[in-house]
Amino acid sequence: MEAEALLNRLNEEHSLTAEELVTLLKEMTPVLKKRLFQLADETRRKYYGTQVYVRGLIEFSSFCKQNCKYCGLRRGNVKAERYRLTEKEIVDCAAEGYKLGYRSFVLQSGEDFGFTEELMISIVRRLKSRFPDAAVTLSIGERSEAFYRALYEAGAERYLLRHEAASRPLYESLHPGMSYENRLRSLALLKSIGYQIGAGFMVGLPGQSYGHLAEDLLFLKELQPEMIGIGPFIPHSSTPLKHAVGGTVDETLVLIALARLLVPKALMPATTAMGSLDPGGREKALAAGANVVMPNLSPLRVREKYALYENKICTGDDGPRCRGCIELRIAASGYEIALGRGDHYSYSRTP
Ligand code: 5AD
Ligand code: SF4
Ligand code: FES
């Protein structure tokens, strides 16, 4: 009963304390889950209707200077095959996506400083001049303030940088050599520069408690990012966390729905990790409050190499295949594919 009252209050006030969120997580029953997903779906429909926004994902480099314990691209994984796409290949991927109707592209890579500020500026400028009606999102890790500003000037308008863990001890245990302060500072900077920002976290990390998850949710409520990416942690066999258990689709759905109720207008992807754990995982995420999908546009020959985790979906499916597949999945879930830029509800860019 108490949990049900908390859920109703969360739905009305879009807020709960950390203790209340922990209670809700602990006392989640199948009946309550059903109600939670229904409320999350209603909330998303209030602002975005039945639209599901698509972003063409271009994984342009698998080099990474960081050593995150959970990730297959960490520099310590000597077995990882590294590649870089050329500027021309990146633009060609976007051109294919543009032909398929996409007007939003996500450039994603490890933290690869081989892609210098000059090179990234050139890539973003080319994309923006060739596809002026498309949005360009960067998902390339931490850079300097000058870099963030220069790329914004060049036309990049969104930046994904998951906070990964709002708890400092948990963050530090997973990210050797990285700075918790710098992560938070980067997110604040990106926001102040004018980017639409994306934060988020994984569910099921070793050492992650309900208390940590409540902290993550409240961190998102405080930050108010335009985008929130939440996915299950999937252990990779060539990382220090190879023997860890990993997250489940079921747990992750609860966190997606709670995030939707805490930050009602957020754009939230049904992540590839959800689809990789469960063939219907992305559809379930859409029904629990997610409203974005990110079909892959990377060249087929590199798909397997961009392995944050193993058994990733779509490694054998080219751009047009993923486009068709995604459209069917969205329609089968009772939503509609939205091919525009898919800006945040309350976003307007000052020229
Ligand atoms: N399982 C699931 N997600 C992962 N990421 C990195 N490694 C894994 C993994 N093993 C996530 C991180 C990163 C995003 C791009 O992918 O949260 O921010
Ligand atoms: Fe590099 Fe990102 Fe993987 Fe960390 S999560 S090792 S920064 S690619
Ligand atoms: Fe890539 Fe389904 S989205 S094959």
Nearest to 198 by CA among 74, 334, 337, 57: 57
| Contacting residues for 322 by C-beta, under 8 A, at least 6 apart | 295, 296, 297, 314
Strands 104-109 and 135-139: parallel
* For the CA of 72, the nearest atom of ligand 2: 3
Q: How far apart are CA 326 and CA 315, in angstroms?
A: 14
- Residues contacting ligand 1 via CB (< 6 Å): 70-71, 162, 164, 202, 231, 233-234, 236, 273, 308-309
Ligand with smallest separation from the Cα of 315? 3
**What share of the chain has pLDDT > 70, as a percent?**
99
Q: Is 295 touching ligand 3 by the criterion CB < 6 Å?
A: yes
pLDDT tens digit sequence for 250-291: 999 999 999 999 999 999 999 999 999 999 999 999 999 999
Q: What is the pTM of this model?
A: 0.98
Examine the pLDDT at 351 and tell me if it is beyond 50.
Answer: no
Q: For 154, how many CA atoms within 13 A lie in the half-sphere containing its CB?
A: 21
CA 69 to ligand 1 center in whole angstroms: 10
| pLDDT at 41 exceeding the cut of 80 | yes
Ligand 1: residue whose CA is nearest its atom 13: 162
Average pLDDT, the chain: 97
User: Average pLDDT of 108-129?
Assistant: 98
- Specify the CATH number of the domain 2-338: 3.20.20.70
The answer, yes or no, to whether any atom of ligand 3 lies below 6 A from the CB of 274, is no
Which ligand is in closest contact with the Cα of 306? 2
Rounded CA separation 30/307 (Å)? 33
Report which ligand 2 atom has the smallest distance to the Cα of 65.
1
**What is the whole-number distance in angstroms between the Cα of residue 164 and the centre of ligand 1?**
9
Mutate to test the pocket of ligand 3, among 54, 283, 313, 315 (most ligand atoms within 8 A of CB): 313
CA of 74 to the centre of ligand 1 (A): 11
C-alpha of residue 250 to centroid of ligand 3, in Å: 21
- What is the rounded end-to-end Cα distance, in angstroms, of the chain? 51
pLDDT tens readout for residues 214-244: 999 999 999 999 999 999 999 999 999 999 9
Q: What pLDDT is stored for residue 1 in this prediction? A: 59
Q: Region 306-320: what's the mean pLDDT?
A: 95
**What one-letter code names the amino acid at 316?**
G
